[in-house]
Structure 1
Amino acid sequence: MNDNTKPLLEIQNLRIAFDMPQGRTEAVRGVNLTMGRERVAVVGESGSGKSISFRSLLGLLPASASVSADRLALQGDDLLSLGPRAMRALRGRRIGMVVQDPKQGLDPLMTIGKQLAEMLKLCGKVPRTGLQQRVRELLAEVHIRDPKRVADLYPHEVSGGMAQRAMLAMMLSAEPDLLIADEATSALDAVVRHRILDLIDEQVRLRGMGLVLISHDLDLVAGYADRILVMYAGRVMEELRGGQMSDARHPYTRGLLACRPSLDHPGGELPVLNREAAWLE
């Protein structure tokens, strides 16, 4: 049994490298994070190491990757020491992940209801006689209006927003301690993005889960986080309080903020983000 007095997630000096034809490339360089059942946003440019840092918790990196850390633990349990079987048991049950394109995470040959039922059976959360009822309840909990009808649909028969709701329902069905939303709204239009983030925020609060919200959109996630980590080239450049992006002091974060288009000056020339070698030292 896990000790609830321990931090939910501990990451100390996480390093990830890849063996490439041209040599060894270090993609994550000493990331640190200790979090409880709170909402942490991780922002930065593509290639900054956001996604692979947290995919490493689930053992979802390719064979060419090597992962090391002084400590990598979930509620005190060392993740680096887990074998393949224990890691499979951890995925979904203790750490859930909502991915960028939900239709890549859903089996196109299975109805949404069948996939949800399969997840429930794997986690052993519901007796077989109550599976279909629980499937409909889960879909209703993510604000799908006609859960019985949607349960009988295939992924290609629903919109991107509804598919993302179904994916979220699937992750919530296992009642994980930590939910990782990896660019979970980037494939959706602006209005649906906020609805999905509102839904994720609602469910995380209701269930007392921890949330890691990975995004390149600073403005979008700032209001949904208690803390914000800004990453560049595999390192955390700065940590900010949620909703306080204007307090940024690091030149990289200030540069990112300055590069955003402004409705006050539409069509204006955007500044070029300056990068300094000293940031990597």
Structure 2
Amino acid sequence: MAAENQSTVIEFILLGLTDNPNLQLWLFQLFSLVYMTTLAGNILLILAVRTDSHLHNPMYLFLTNLSFLDICYTSIIVPKMLLNIVLSTKTISYTGCVLQVYFFLFMAETECILLGFMAYDRYVAICNPLRYNVIMNIVSCTRMIGLSWMAGGSIASFDIYFICNLRFCGHITINHFFCEAPSLLQLSCGDISVDNIVTLVGASILLLIPLGLILFSYIHIFLIILKLPSGQYKAFSTCISHLIVVAIFFGTAIFMYMRPRYSDTIVTDKMVSVFYTIVTPMLNPLIYSLRNKDVQKTLVLLGRYMIVLR
């Protein structure tokens, strides 16, 4: 069926966020800046952790994997989107579109699971500190990270099977800025009732279970913080900032993947997709790591070392 689809549809046209030339120029500048900030923030975090042995602990092991995921899945989307803005033709090949869907789902699904494990790590560190080194040792953290990647890749492979079996009947215009599974489902001319059920069930598992673990962890963390005699404001502000990023990522993804599809919500869908594909990868290193004094100290030392090398 996939071969038949590819012989029928060779390429798709991505309409992008807007067809207004003035807005396109503004969006190109904005998203170029956001993308460069995303790359810089996540690469700096990875370099800081790699070069400082004091940061070789489970929390930063999770964070470097999160940064790598953010670099990968924003790079799957943003460079092609920026290229389409400056080109008169906004096409993407059938194969390129399928690959974009697969790798985006792979990275995003892996990140959902990883964020759940990261919240559990913070829960153990704050609520059960005496057993932290026993529960969250390097071996167990590595297994959690490996499980996140394996689960994300396996579920994405299952999802892409249904995408490859869609029939498009010559409909090639995608009203979106990248190839996203719900947009392709709407474009299909066949019966997609099973696909919609699979998407809903998969999204429920991948979004609600990690989100439930995150909320469970942070509720218990807040209860512990309330009992602390001092340092409450800093701890609260850190947890709140984490939860804001989580709320943006999971809230927009739930809105996109766990509701009925309507043709009059296309503009809203595109705006919502911007948050979990472009905004949160930029915010993650800023919120989770770069405000940390240990990371800042390492980055300063790394900067001085680079200056000396010059």
Identify the TM-score tier after normalising by the shorter chain. Answer: under 0.3
In proportion to residue count, which structure has more helix?
Answer: 2
Structure number with greater Rg is 2
Which structure is higher in RCO with an 8 Å CA cutoff and minimum separation 6? 2
TM-score calculated relative to the size of structure 2 = 0.24
